[in-house]
Amino acid sequence: MNTESTTVSKTYNLLQLKSRPKLLNILLFLSTIYVFSTLGTAVQKLSEGPMTEIQLQEEMELAYGSIETLTAQGLSQDNIQAIQLIKDNVAYINNHSFDLTYNLMIVVSLLGFLSILLMFSKQKAGFYAYILYSLASVASIFIITPQDLILFSTLLFVIIPSVVLIFLYNMAMKEVETRDQMLLTFSE
């Protein structure tokens, strides 16, 4: 009876070591949602094509309001300048780098998906691909948009989550390595 429970315990421990860590599963799930939503958006935008000037103006008014309205509402001059910069950025992308923007989004998303697949199969190369994916996301901002149209807050919005996710993926992949080492010693 005692040897039977020891065998069951060893089998359970072995199965637990072979499985992916919970943190890795959660990160992969969230990253998959983000990558597919980005990919879907890019494909949809490419199929629709750029907006006309009238559509663009209507969209900007709907999203941000007019500068006159914002000033009348008492918004600070810094905030108004930031909103104008965002409007200029959107107009630039729509009028000058539409295809480049969304094709680049597709390529970067596919790199992200590749990294997810590799990490799903517990390969360290997936972690390195994820770092490249994160760097490509930041670099694409500079490739697509002239430097004078880039908001510092936009960069932070991309960089901070990327760094946090890289840190979390690193922790999860280290746990995978630890489990693999334990499997080697366990099977001996």
Per-residue pLDDT band for 12 (boundaries 50, 70, 90) equals very low
% the chain with pLDDT above 90: 65
Question: Is-contact 111 129, C-beta < 8 A?
Answer: yes
In the DSSP assignment, the letter for residue 3 is H
pLDDT reported for residue 31: 98
User: Which pLDDT band, with edges at 50, 70 and 90, does 188 fall under?
Assistant: low
Q: Share the mean pLDDT of the chain.
A: 89
Distance CA 183, CA 129 (A): 25
CA distance 64 to 83: 7
Q: pLDDT tens for residues 26-84?
A: 999 999 999 999 999 999 999 999 999 999 999 888 887 777 787 788 888 888 888 88
User: Which whole number is the average pLDDT over 76-102?
Assistant: 91
Mean pLDDT value across residues 134-147: 96
User: Measured at the alpha carbon of residue 50, what is the angle toward residues 44 and 51, in degrees to the nearest 5?
Assistant: 110
Which among 125, 124, 128, 134 is positioned nearest to 35, based on CA atoms? 134
pLDDT given for residue 128 in this prediction = 98
pLDDT digits (tens, 9 = 90+) for 103-129: 999 999 999 999 999 999 999 999 999
